[in-house]
Amino acid sequence: MIKKILSNVILLLSFLFIIALAFYYYNEIQKEKISENKIKIVVTVGAIGGLLKEIGGLRVEIINLAKGAHAHEVQILPSDLKTIKDAKIIFKIGYKLDDWVDKLAKENNISIKQLDKNVDLIKSKNIVNPHYWLSLKNLKGIAKDIYITLVDIDPNYSEYYFKNYQKFLVKLDELKNYEENFKNIKNKKIIVTHSALDYLAQELNLKIVGYLKTEEGRDLSVKEFYNLVNLIKKENVKIIIAEKGFITESVRQFAKIYNLKLVEIDPLEVMNLEKENIIDIMKDNLEKIYKSMI
């Protein structure tokens, strides 16, 4: 009796193993099929590449012209011209942040797509703040634009793109819970290093009292600095939120002198597409800001 039971168990386990093995090889074959003849897409900002990685998956080869630099600092090299050859499309942000890519697209006969169709823009003195990707709502809008474009240029894999797009939306919606957490924060007044953080601050209903850099990116004048210090005292500001890579020794000293918590967040602009993913970075940003306020 025991031998018969053991024999049946072994047969069942063998059957399950064969099924699992067949399923594994089927998935591997599907991956190879999807990866064949990838479409080459050029991006100018790490955040766009991060979204493209989520939705395009194995079907796309991402060419990031920024290569770890800020979009307005990019210098096109002769090797880049060879790299972008046969690219299907270039995704850009626009509003003078990466408009240098327009000439590149024209000279190489590559289609170009600005990803601002489904986003809310912030304007100051009729000038659009181009860092619109640093917002959960706008990330969703950009993702929609990317998804629609991928289906348009590579329709045979529309179902694959749709599944990836839906999975990304689920993960993004999970981060919306953080907005509820911020509703219970009493003091939401902050200082930021740069206007790139305006979108995230607006989404979390944080009040930006002042900036350590002007809208043009220059250092504050003596008068502007004096006014900022007075505002910090008057408004009881406790926190500086700074972009990764923008925390200089002077920023650290400023925070120390005026007893401000210094919070470093990743603006997604120079993210490493091979090692990082956009959801984890945004989650980390939200956690850092929230923990600094409780």
- In sequence order, which residues have a C-beta less than 8 Å from that of residue 186 and are 6 or more positions away? none
Both structure tokens of 192: 């930021």
Domains of the chain and CATH, by start: 36-175 (3.40.50.1980), 178-293 (3.40.50.1980)
Tens digit of each residue's pLDDT, the chain (294 residues) = 676 666 666 766 666 566 655 444 444 445 444 558 899 999 999 999 999 999 999 999 999 998 878 887 888 888 899 999 999 999 999 999 999 999 999 999 999 999 999 999 999 888 999 999 999 999 999 999 999 999 999 999 999 999 999 999 999 999 988 888 999 899 999 999 989 999 999 999 999 999 998 777 778 899 999 999 999 999 999 999 999 888 889 899 999 999 999 999 999 999 999 999 999 999 999 999 999 999
Sheet of 111-114, strands arranged across: 60-64, 39-43, 89-92, 111-114
- The confidence score (pLDDT) of residue 77 equals 87
- Residue 275's identity, in one-letter code, is K
- Please report, as a single letter, which amino acid is at residue 79: S
CA–CA gap between residue 285 and residue 288 (Å, rounded)? 5
pTM of the model: 0.87
DSSP string, 26-74: HHHHHHHHHHTTPEEEEESSHHHHHHHHHHHGGGEEEEETTTTS-GGG-
Quote the pLDDT of residue 28.
Answer: 47
Tokens 């940003």 belong to 285
Question: What's the pLDDT at 125?
Answer: 86
Closest alpha carbon to 277 in 57, 63, 34, 38: 57
Residues 262, 255 contacting (CB under 8 angstroms): yes
Predicted local confidence at residue 20, as pLDDT: 54
Looking at residue 245, its pLDDT comes to: 82
